[in-house]
């Protein structure tokens, strides 16, 4: 058996605004330098990706992207320094939670086995 952890960050209203999907979207934007291409890569509409990003920025109170409008020069987007740092810290946080959960789950399984005997 394995423990499976799903981490979401919720706002004051209890609605989640940050989780695995948002991380994937930000990582794809970083790689592809485009909200539109990142959304397509995730089989998501641009409108949904835009809504997710606006919600994230609203809840964090910080800009996550530097956006360039389209046109002849073709637009694009890149992560702000804050967004890059946020992703790195969030990855560390997730790894720490996972490590803790696995340790606790291992102890839980051992306690179950001890009670069988």
Q: Which residues of 20-58 are buried (b: 16+ CB within 10 A; e: fewer)?
A: eebbebbebbbebebbbbbbeeeebeeeebeebbebbbe
- Cα–Cα distance for residue pair 50/65, rounded to 1 Å: 11
Q: What is the pLDDT along the chain (117 residues), one digit of tens a residue?
A: 889 999 999 999 999 999 999 999 999 999 999 999 999 999 999 999 999 999 999 999 999 999 988 655 677 999 999 999 999 999 999 999 999 999 999 999 999 888 765
DSSP 78: E
| Block residue for tokens 């990582």 | 27
Helix axes 46-60, 20-32, angle to 10 degrees: 110
75: which residues sit within 8 A by CB, 6+ positions away?
A: 34, 67, 68, 69
CA 116/CA 87 separation, integer angstroms: 43
Domains for the chain: give ranges and CATH numbers: 16-116 (1.10.10.10)
């Amino acid at each position: 058996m394995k423990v499976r952890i799903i981490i979401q960050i919720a706002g004051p209203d209890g609605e989640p605004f940050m989780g695995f999907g948002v991380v994937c979207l930000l990582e794809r934007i970083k790689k592809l330098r485009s909200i539109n291409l990142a959304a397509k890569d995730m089989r998501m509409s641009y409108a949904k990706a835009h809504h997710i990003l606006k919600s994230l920025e609203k809840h964090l109170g910080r800009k996550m992207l530097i956006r360039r409008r389209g046109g002849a020069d073709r637009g694009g987007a890149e992560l702000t320094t804050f967004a890059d740092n946020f992703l790195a810290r969030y990855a560390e946080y997730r790894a720490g939670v996972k490590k803790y959960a696995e340790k606790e789950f291992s102890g839980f399984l051992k306690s179950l086995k001890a009670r069988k005997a």
